[in-house]
Chains A and B, each alone.
Chain A
Amino acid sequence: MRHEPTAASLSRPGGQPVGAPSAANPAANRDVTTALPEAPLPAVQAALAPKTETRAPNRLRPLLRWESALVVALAATVLVGAATSRQFLTSANVFSNVCLLYGELAIMTLPMTLVILAGEIDLSIASTLALSSSLVGYLWQQGWPMPGVIAFVLVTGALLGWVNGALVTRLGLPSLAVTIGTMTLYAGIAEIVLGPAIITNFPSSYTTIGVNPLPGTGQLLSFSAAVFIVLAVLFGVLLHATPFGRSVVAIGFNKEAALFAGIRVKRVKTLLFMLSGLTGALAGILYTFRLSTAESDNGIDLILPVVAVVLLGGVSIFGGKGSLAGVVLAVLVYTSLQSALLLTNFNANGLEIVTGGLLLLSVLVPNAGQLASRARSLAGRRRLGVAAHAQLKDGTP
């Protein structure tokens, strides 16, 4: 059976043991994280489902990858955007309505991807941005030299992340609860640091990043967008091509198994939270210079959009499943859709309906196959029930 996996043998009910694909094909092992959740249906369900359909999902799976769907969505958005507004594809729109507005949000999705992949969450990253922004303003006001301010803020960001990591790994607390707490705590410290003050007297050599495109990018990219691209490559390599990145996915997929496989789960998680804090601080510095304003609630509302974009990128909220390419695509879909809608004079405040709708689609569509098969098995069960009932009725009189 194994050397000749014909359609007949595959479509036989229960004729497809869970381990078979990976045993027969070593290359499939690499894909085991994505293959397992969609493991063959239990024998009962397989027996109830129409026999010819058992194979279809296997053939369609590469086409149905979430990343492909995002590429289609991106293409559709760009086409519709270009069709509805002449301005959509202009460099001015790309620069000021996409790159400038969403640069920091995009940057924060990168560490968030890794944290969620490891089965944790960091809801405090936007508060880290706010606190960093406040610190930049406060220290600059105190007469620190700007390079010193930046260095101090970055170190502080990593420290804030370490606090999260220590609470999660050393005390064994759930990160969802810990970071709801530190989200409030860090935002609170930002208010203590800066109070009601708004600091705007930053040197123009730093604040030009909020006005001018990066030279040599054809008037397209903002400084923060360029940082995002560089970081996306770095994070992509880190996640997909280093032992550290692979251990992140392994932890998210099965923490116990990862531990037994010799991965230092606590250390990896602590490092991830520190990375998240560090990147949040960087986003805070960029945010401050872009707006040339340090205020205690800078960027505080970005937390839910950041999580939403990561999930839209196909990262499982339970960890262990997802890719950085998906998240980068989701960033592009999200930002281009928002700017397209802005240009069509859609009620700017109603844009959130798009965020919500996309997010809902991102969890419903990948589950549609399962949903359909469950509906089928339910219908089948009902059919069986009706048949049994009819039999009973026929038999009893």
Chain B
Amino acid sequence: MTSPLAWADGQPGTAPSGSRRLVDLIFRARELGIIGVLAVFVAVAASVQPRFVDSQNIKFVFSNTVIFALLALGETLVVLARNYDLSVGSVLGLSAYLSAHLFSQVHGIPIAAVFLVGLAIGLGCGTVNGLIVAVARVPSLVVTLATLYIFRALDVLIIGGGMVVAASLPGGFLAIPTSSAGAVPYLAMVVAGVVALGAYYLRSFRSGRELYAIGSNPEAARLAGIPTGKRVFTAFVASGAIAGLAGVLWAAVYGTIDSTAGYGYELTVVAAVVVGGVNIFGGSGTVIGAALGALLLATINQALYVLGISSFWDKAIDGLLIVVAISLDHWITVRLTAALRKRSLQHAT
């Protein structure tokens, strides 16, 4: 039998239904685990400081999460296929500045058009990444580390010393992140919808499943007839496009955009993805987990703030969380593999 983990990647017909159920349960349990940790934090923070669950604070957490949740969605597509996109922060910065700059360049430009421009910028950057990775077949970690610098430098060279200030942005644009139904911003609902679509795609579409297959074993996936180059290319294009969209949202959320927008986001996004239970070497994980990872990081930081713990503890706790999350994830995977092997032996005899 091949690696028992291959079943977890949803290759049909190889897994007996018993272990299938077990796998489903444990994968659901992983997301449940994040929700559990989230609930504990919220409960502790709320019991100490009731202000934590007032609508203002919840709104703040959500608007902090949406951008990272979107970026985590794109990053997950890439990481699942055993690749990395380190350029997301720079793409976000480039898109944020160029799209927001349009408002002062083209008077009365519709907001939707600005979003399209941001999307196009992201698509362009993602295409560059995807082409280099898929055609030249060089490691994406290196390629996107290079484009991280190149896109950021383009950003700096275009902006010079300038910046876009909130006063030059239309009120309708700045209202996007703040308008809400009760405590939940509309934007958070839209992003949740996008993440749900992403989850549905990865779960039920052939090309989505193929990303898992590529991440589990690129060589085997290629031999099985999966167009690995094309799929990896598409994942990078999608990640770039999402980062482009996130850039426009970033501009709406923060209002003031200079050349440092999104600086250093890449490793935070990877951290959210890893905390969300996506295997750093691809092949397993879900976008819902990754989005929950982003939500967890944002919630913890806000909880510390509300509890009056010095913000100097934020980073250390984030770091500890990442280390604990990957250790736990690894522990579960080892147990899962052992359980599946036992099942497969029972099934065989």
Contact of A183 among B141, B148, B267, B320 (CB under 8 A): B267
Are A350 and B153 in contact, with the CB atoms below 8 A?
Answer: yes
A356 within 8 A of B: yes
Contact of B138 among A178, A180, A363 (CB under 8 A): A363
A225 within 8 A of B: no
Q: Which residues of A contact B132 (CB under 8 A)?
A: 360, 364
- A351, A353, A370: residue with the most chain B Cβ atoms closer than 10 Å: A353
Contact of B150 among A188, A353, A371 (CB under 8 A): A353
B157 within 8 A of A: yes
Are B274 and A359 in contact, with the CB atoms below 8 A?
Answer: no
Q: Which residues of A contact B150 (CB under 8 A)?
A: 352-353, 356-357, 360
For A286-321 the 0/1 string (1 means CB < 8 A from B) is 000000000010000000100110010000011000
Closest to B137 in A: A367
Are A347 and B315 in contact, with the CB atoms below 8 A?
Answer: no
A295 to B313 Cα, complex, angstroms: 16
Are B152 and A173 in contact, with the CB atoms below 8 A?
Answer: no
For A169-190 the 0/1 string (1 means CB < 8 A from B) is 0011110111011111111110
Are A349 and B259 in contact, with the CB atoms below 8 A?
Answer: yes
For B122-138 the 0/1 string (1 means CB < 8 A from A) is 00000000001001111
Are B319 and A185 in contact, with the CB atoms below 8 A?
Answer: yes
Contacting residues of chain B (256-305) with chain A, CB-CB under 8 angstroms: 259, 267, 270-271, 274, 280-281
Closest to B260 in A: A349
Q: Which residues of A contact B153 (CB under 8 A)?
A: 349-354, 356
For A336-375 the 0/1 string (1 means CB < 8 A from B) is 0000000000010111111111011011100100110000
A191 to B312 Cα, complex, angstroms: 5
Q: A176-B280, A180-B271, A317-B142 are in contact. Are A191 and B316 (CB under 8 A)?
A: yes
Q: A356-B147, A359-B145 are in contact. Are A172 and B330 (CB under 8 A)?
A: yes
Closest to A196 in B: B312
A123 to B146 Cα, complex, angstroms: 16
B225 within 8 A of A: no
B37 within 8 A of A: no
Are B156 and A350 in contact, with the CB atoms below 8 A?
Answer: yes
Closest to B325 in A: A181
A167 within 8 A of B: yes
A181 to B330 Cα, complex, angstroms: 14
Are A360 and B146 in contact, with the CB atoms below 8 A?
Answer: yes
A183 to B326 Cα, complex, angstroms: 14
A179 → chain B closest CB, angstroms: 10
Are A359 and B312 in contact, with the CB atoms below 8 A?
Answer: no
Q: How large is the interface on B (under 10, 10 to 19, 20 to 34, 35 or more residues)?
A: 35 or more
Contact of A188 among B137, B281, B317 (CB under 8 A): B317
B32 within 8 A of A: no
For A242-261 the 0/1 string (1 means CB < 8 A from B) is 00000000000000000000
Total chain A interface residues with beta-carbon distance under 8 A: 48
A304 to B145 Cα, complex, angstroms: 8
Contact of A195 among B148, B274, B312 (CB under 8 A): B312
A75 within 8 A of B: no
Q: A177-B274, A183-B267, A363-B142 are in contact. Are A167 and B149 (CB under 8 A)?
A: no
Closest to B274 in A: A177
A359 to B148 Cα, complex, angstroms: 11
For B305-323 the 0/1 string (1 means CB < 8 A from A) is 0000010111111111011
Q: Which residues of B contact A230 (CB under 8 A)?
A: none
Contact of B149 among A174, A189, A356, A370 (CB under 8 A): A356
Q: Which residues of B contact A351 (CB under 8 A)?
A: 153
A192 within 8 A of B: yes
Q: A171-B327, A180-B267 are in contact. Are A187 and B315 (CB under 8 A)?
A: yes
Q: Which residues of B contact A178 (CB under 8 A)?
A: 323, 326
Q: Which residues of A contact B320 (CB under 8 A)?
A: 181, 185, 188
Are A347 and B316 in contact, with the CB atoms below 8 A?
Answer: no
Are A173 and B326 in contact, with the CB atoms below 8 A?
Answer: yes
Are B147 and A360 in contact, with the CB atoms below 8 A?
Answer: yes
Are A184 and B318 in contact, with the CB atoms below 8 A?
Answer: yes
Q: Which residues of B contact A174 (CB under 8 A)?
A: 280-281, 326
Q: Which residues of B contact A318 (CB under 8 A)?
A: 139
A349 to B149 Cα, complex, angstroms: 10
Q: A172-B330, A183-B319, A185-B323 are in contact. Are A352 and B156 (CB under 8 A)?
A: yes
Contacting residues of chain B (155-191) with chain A, CB-CB under 8 angstroms: 156-157, 160
Are B315 and A184 in contact, with the CB atoms below 8 A?
Answer: yes
A357 to B146 Cα, complex, angstroms: 7
- A183, A347, A350, A351: residue with the most chain B Cβ atoms closer than 10 Å: A350
Q: Which residues of B contact A183 (CB under 8 A)?
A: 267, 319
Contact of A359 among B137, B146, B313, B315 (CB under 8 A): B146
Q: Which residues of A contact B145 (CB under 8 A)?
A: 304, 307-308, 311, 356, 359
A354 to B154 Cα, complex, angstroms: 11
Task: List the 4 closest pairs (A to B, CB-CB), nearest first.
Answer: A185-B319, A188-B316, A356-B149, A188-B315
Other A-B pairs beyond A191-B316, A360-B146, 11, CB < 8 Å: A173-B330, A178-B326, A181-B274, A185-B315, A187-B319, A188-B315, A188-B320, A192-B316, A347-B157, A352-B156, A363-B136
A-B contact pairs, 12 of them (CB 8 A): A174-B280, A181-B323, A184-B319, A187-B315, A187-B319, A188-B318, A307-B145, A353-B154, A359-B145, A363-B142, A364-B138, A367-B137
